[in-house]
Amino acid sequence: MPKKANHRRPLSRSLTRGLMAAGVGGAVIAVPLLTAAAANAAPAPQSVAHEAAVHQAAKAPVRAHAAAHTAAGSVYTVVPGDSLSKIAFDHSLSGGWHKLYQDNREAVGGNPSLIHPGLKLSLGHRAAASAAHTTGAAHTTGERAGHTEHTERKTVIKTENTADTAPVKKAAAPVYADNLDGWIRQSLAIMAQHGIPGSYDGIYRNIMRESSGNPTAINNWDSNAAQGTPSKGLLQVIDPTFQTYHVAGTSMDPYDPVANITAACNYAAATYGSIDNVNGPY
């Protein structure tokens, strides 16, 4: 057989391959290094690509830091048409509008549905950016998130404890004037509690006809008086009727203005449907 031609060129230089460690922003990047034994050897073409890789790697931590900074909290000014859910969605906030409301509860107040244009809101932390997934940036973001979560838990616990220990203020009882207007209004409040119908005008109209507004008025000359049970008080109620239709919580004295009015209105509701339907002696 004819001898095969030798297509390989003999190596005139010995090549040594190694690794060069480049420190970039705390990370170590292993870069293949091709060195020529000869002092005057031309640089290998791929060394340019490696230099570019090293340059890009040096920028990576800077970009990660910038991304993490972008994800950090900022202040937002409410504009017309805004809502907490819209703001949380537009800014991709972690925890949604609930977290946004929790962070700004003091500024927003008790109604999360009511925010006014010009209100300053702290946006807290946005959802994690993909650029922050590098080793160094992710570690830093994790530490910050852990610190934030710990702070939030302390805040929630403090708020709950404050709510548990804060004294509950009771609504002050209404005060009524000691006159005809006050007696009617107090009677209406009691009637409302017991489901007894009647209006201010209906009560006032009948009082003026029966007693002219005198709580101690008594009728000693009609048929009831003849039977020993005279009509008494603002709405001229006889004792048997007063006792039967007396409203719990009021005085047992038929001359008491409020007790007299409520008992008479209770009787009128049972007999005529309402004191408003009474337009004469009843």
Let me know if residue 17 belongs to a domain. no
Residues with pLDDT less than 50, the chain: 1-50, 54, 57-72, 128-140, 163
In this prediction, residue 167 carries a pLDDT of: 65
Let me know if residue 268 belongs to a domain. yes
Q: Residue 142 and residue 110: Cα distance in Å, rounded?
A: 32
CATH number at residue 210: 1.10.530.10
Q: Are residues 139 and 97 in the same domain?
A: yes
Q: What are 206-254's pLDDT values in tens digits?
A: 999 999 999 999 999 999 999 999 999 999 999 999 999 999 999 999 9
Q: Are residues 263 and 218 in the same domain?
A: yes
**Residue 261 three-state SS:** helix
Q: Are residues 207 and 270 in the same domain?
A: yes
Q: Are residues 193 and 263 in the same domain?
A: yes
Q: Are residues 202 and 150 in the same domain?
A: no
CATH number at residue 97: 3.10.350.10
Q: Are residues 127 and 206 in the same domain?
A: no
Q: Are residues 146 and 185 in the same domain?
A: no
**Is-contact 275 203, C-beta < 8 A?**
yes
In this prediction, residue 11 carries a pLDDT of: 45
Q: Mind giving me the DSSP string for 199-260?
A: -HHHHHHHHHHHTTT-TT-EE-SSHHHHTT--EETTTTB-HHHHHHHPPTTS-S-TTSHHHH
Q: Are residues 153 and 204 in the same domain?
A: no
Sign of the four-CA dihedral 41, 45, 47, 48 = positive
User: 96, 124, 157: which is the final residue of a domain?
Assistant: 157
Q: Are residues 104 and 152 in the same domain?
A: yes
In this prediction, residue 21 carries a pLDDT of: 40
Q: Are residues 184 and 150 in the same domain?
A: no
Let me know if residue 45 belongs to a domain. no
Among residues 197, 172, 195, 177, the alpha carbon closest in space to that of 258 is found at 177
User: 101, 125, 157: which is the final residue of a domain?
Assistant: 157
Let me know if residue 4 belongs to a domain. no
Let me know if residue 59 belongs to a domain. no
Q: Alpha-carbon Rg of the chain, whole angstroms?
A: 45
Q: Are residues 190 and 141 in the same domain?
A: no
Beta bridge partners, 18, equal: 33
**Is-contact 230 275, C-beta < 8 A?**
no
Q: Are residues 78 and 150 in the same domain?
A: yes
**Residue 274 three-state SS:** coil
Let me know if residue 9 belongs to a domain. no
**Is-contact 260 236, C-beta < 8 A?**
no
**Is-contact 231 222, C-beta < 8 A?**
yes
In this prediction, residue 37 carries a pLDDT of: 36
Let me know if residue 8 belongs to a domain. no
In this prediction, residue 124 carries a pLDDT of: 74
Which residues form the domain of 143? 71-157
Per DSSP, the chain holds a count of helices (H) and strands (E) of: 10, 6
Q: Give how many domains the chain has, as a whole number.
A: 2
User: 97, 126, 157: which is the final residue of a domain?
Assistant: 157
Query: What pTM value is reported for the model?
Result: 0.43
Let me know if residue 199 belongs to a domain. yes
Give the C-alpha distances (Å, rounded to integers) separating 191 from 136, 137, 231, 282.
Answer: 73, 70, 22, 19
In this prediction, residue 164 carries a pLDDT of: 54
